[in-house]
Amino acid sequence: MRRLALASLFVTAMLLAYATPAAAADIRTGDISIGANETINDDLYLFGNDITVLGTVRGDIIAAGSNVTIGGTVTGSVAAAGNVVSIPAHVTGSVRAAGNAIAIDGQVDGDVIAAASTISVSSGAKIGRDFVGAGGSVTISGPVGRDVRGGATTVTIDSHVGRDAVVEVTTLRLTDRAMVDGAVSYGSQNEAVRAPGAVVRGKFERREPRNAQPTTPAPTTTAIDVLRGLAGLLILGLLLLLLVPGFMRRTSEALAVNPWASVGMGVALLIGIPIFAILAFIVGAFIGGWWIGFVALALYLVVIAISFPVAAVAIGRWLLARVNLATDLPIALVVGVVILVLVSVIPIVGGLLLFLACLLGLGAIALAITGSREAAAAPAR
């Protein structure tokens, strides 16, 4: 488990964190700044470029942006994605984050689940329950109440761990400040670097990594996977262009006009449809119509599949416009699909970019549908 896909981790974390619908929500987009003297009594959904929360939030926070800073006090949980995610807040729930660089600088009473190139838990931070991390470099300098788990290229334990540390690594380091009350079990081909002052009260053992076989695929395997991805997305995209060309054009235009609104709508759909399906199944079991839940889940999977060619068309049109070339939909589709398939093979970052493309596509589909309905209703007013 040395490398986990950011997309899978973050989607799972979001769905687990928000398995019931929120009673209220405050949705904001663009550059967002919430001052230290402000108090928000709703769940916060934040989508923009620079996001800063320094006040008190009595609810959960879901944030996606380039730079995300969550400070102050959060009485619920935090789910955040961005290039740089910094959390100096006191979070009474759990933190789930994905990005390029993640810094935990405050107190988290629950769990921290993070996936990034660089993850740091500073000496001023405190994690009440478990830390689960995946990425390139993971440094834990603040105390962890229970277990440390995950996988990374380098894991450095520089603080107190209340129970066990179980990791898959290339290099494990325990500093003089490291104190593990339980056992340390690490999968690696290299011996750990253990400072003389490091304390491990339980068993300290190295085992063969779970992915001991070569993890780098053969060039022919990679090429075949790339070709399959190209073929699948192109076929689906061309079918959509043939059957619903107007819809595909509207989705790409909706995405181009307001990409952050598309991301926000995509997150809402990604979370909301499974919740609706579960509720429909439960209610339908008592009053009839339980099959509506299964229909909603089937449509959910279809829309997710469609979101990728939708995002590909928008990406292709944007790139072609930048170089002053024709932005015909089939050409844009080919360009966008090639870009998506190529970025998908980038370790860790590729998964995050594909997840973002899925959100963009989902949101664009919703905005295109609602926009067409509003346009149709306008003459009747």
Residue 328 has pLDDT above 80, yes or no: no
Residue 3 has pLDDT above 60, yes or no: no
Cβ within 8 Å of residue 44, ≥6 positions away? 25, 26, 28, 53, 57, 59, 60, 61, 62, 63
Of the chain, the end-to-end C-alpha distance in Å amounts to 58
Cβ within 8 Å of residue 92, ≥6 positions away? 73, 74, 75, 76, 109, 110
* Residue 13, pLDDT score: 40
Instruction: Provide the CB-side half-sphere exposure for 288 (13 A, CA).
Output: 0
Long-range contacts of 120-126 (CB under 8 A, 24+ apart): 121/159, 123/158, 123/159
Comparing 34-43, 62-71, 223-232, 294-303, which segment has the lowest mean pLDDT? Answer: 223-232
Q: What is the DSSP string of 26-57?
A: EEEESSEEE-TT-EE-SEEEEESSEEEE-SEE
H/E stretch holding 357 reads helix 349-377
The residues pairing with 73 across neighbouring beta strands, listed in sequence order, are 56, 90
Residue 327 pLDDT class (50, 70, 90 cuts):
low
Residue 53 pLDDT class (50, 70, 90 cuts):
very high
* Residue 194, pLDDT score: 95
Q: Give the separation between CA 307 and CA 329, rounded to whole angstroms.
A: 15
Q: What is the DSSP string of 269-332?
A: HHHHHHHHHHHHHHHHHHHS-THHHHHHHHHHHHHHHHHHHHHHHHHHHHHHHHTT----HHHH
Question: pLDDT (tens digit, 9 = 90+) per residue, 209-237?
Answer: 875 444 445 554 455 555 566 677 778 87
Residue 14 has pLDDT above 50, yes or no: no
Sheet of 56-57: strands edge to edge? Answer: 39-40, 56-57, 73-74, 90-91, 107-108, 126-127
* Residue 296, pLDDT score: 79
Burial of 157 (0-12, 13-18, 19+ CB in 10 A): buried
Question: pLDDT (tens digit, 9 = 90+) per residue, 246-279?
Answer: 888 888 787 777 777 778 787 888 887 888 777 7
Residue 8 has pLDDT above 70, yes or no: no
Q: Give the separation between CA 289 and CA 305, rounded to whole angstroms.
A: 26
In this prediction, residues 331-352 reach a mean pLDDT of: 77
Q: Give the separation between CA 273 and CA 381, rounded to whole angstroms.
A: 31
The residues pairing with 126 across neighbouring beta strands, listed in sequence order, are 107
Q: Which residue has the higher pLDDT, 163 or 324?
A: 163
Contact in structure between 13 and 96 (CB atoms under 8 Å): yes
* Residue 9, pLDDT score: 38
Q: Give the separation between CA 252 and CA 309, rounded to whole angstroms.
A: 10
Q: Which residue has the higher pLDDT, 272 or 125?
A: 125
* Residue 341, pLDDT score: 77
Q: Which residue has the higher pLDDT, 260 or 16?
A: 260
Question: pLDDT (tens digit, 9 = 90+) per residue, 82-120?
Answer: 788 999 999 999 999 887 899 999 999 999 998 888 999
SS3 178: coil
* Residue 62, pLDDT score: 86
State what percent of residues in the chain have pLDDT above 70.
Answer: 81
Residue 10 pLDDT class (50, 70, 90 cuts):
very low
Nearest 5°: CA angle at 349, between 356 and 323? 70
Task: Find where tokens 């689940």 sit.
Answer: 113
